[in-house]
Amino acid sequence: MATRTQARTAVVQMLYALDLGNEDMTKQSIEYLDERKIKGAKGEFANSLFQGVLEHLSEIDEVIKNITTSHLNRELLTSFNKNKLYYATKQADNNIKVVLPFIFKRDDLLNLNKKGLEGSTARIIECIKEKIRKKKFSELSGNLGKRYIALYEPITVVNSDLNIGSDLWRADRYNYINNNEIHLLLRMIFRDRTPKIMAKRIDELTYELNDFIQKIPYKILEKENTSTVNQKDLRNRLKELGLVSFVGDNSKPAREYTKVRRHYRIAGPKKGINIPFETP
């Protein structure tokens, strides 16, 4: 059975074929998905996503044209990345989802250990999510709508090479720190589909986000950075130490699955009784 990730990959492939001039793809999407065994609910999801992108192909251009913030990463707004990295698409609830890349700067990030930048990136994202769950930055959560829970669901894993939890907002190749720059791919939900209104709110949102990011205490980012570096070092030394894994003192090992975290690698800490581990 196909996964939602495979369904999304198929949509990207169809859009790429369309970009190369295969106009028949607009009429052959169902057949294309069937050939790749993406059927049933997943097939409907993929086709709906594909048709939604087609319906708003030009809308993203109008939105971008009206955005004035310097935080927008315009270098990535190429024809190759269009409808893959950045796009606008209609959702099942008739809202419009706009996905765009942004850059925020903090000079003190240069002091962080480069080997642990995923940890600092993850901490920034989780700090933003904490505010989202307090009803701030509402466009980043679809007003905390249940269908958009993957946008604001907390995630404790810093990084994973496995293709799991791709719906979740986390540190990855699109969300990362490079020197003094924080690159974030923002997925925003709007009810008003007027390009000028969406662009104005995007400008406001990015300034609000930048102000918030600047105020995140450096010590929090440094602590997560150091923890990530230490974990990587221990993981690399497991074989030489004759160990299979390690558990740190005060860790709470019991895990809990959620609707969007169904794999043990991304399951969060169990709520309620969760006894901390202590070295005997």
* Per-residue pLDDT tens digits for 117-147: 999 999 999 999 999 999 999 999 998 888 8
Cα–Cα distance, 151 to 168 (Å, whole number) = 6
pLDDT tens, position by position, 14-23 = 877 776 767 6
Extract long-range pairs of 3-9: CB within 8 Å, 24+ residues apart: 3/42, 4/42, 4/45, 4/167, 5/163, 5/166, 6/36, 6/38, 6/42, 7/33, 7/38, 7/42, 7/43, 7/45, 7/46, 7/49, 8/46, 8/49, 8/166
pLDDT tens, position by position, 214-225 = 999 999 999 999
Beta partners for residue 256, in sequence order: 268
Residue owning tokens 């492939």: 13
| Tokens found for residue 74 | 């315009």
Task: Count helices and strands (H / E) in the chain.
Answer: 9, 6
Residue 181: pLDDT band by 50, 70, 90 thresholds? very high
Residue 158: pLDDT band by 50, 70, 90 thresholds? low
| Tokens found for residue 68 | 């004035």
pLDDT at res. 24: 74
- The C-alpha R_g of the chain, in whole angstroms, comes to 20
pLDDT at res. 21: 67
Residues ≥6 apart with Cβ < 8 Å to 159: 118, 122, 171, 172
* 132 neighbors 152 (Cβ within 8 angstroms): yes
Range 27-45 average pLDDT: 83
pLDDT tens, position by position, 80-119 = 888 788 988 888 788 999 999 999 999 999 999 999 999 9
Helix/strand/coil (H, E, C) string of 143-158? Answer: CCCHHHHHHHCCCCCC
pLDDT tens, position by position, 183-240 = 999 999 999 889 999 999 999 999 999 999 999 999 999 999 999 999 888 888 888 8
Q: Where are the domains positioned within the chain?
A: 1-55, 58-242+250-269
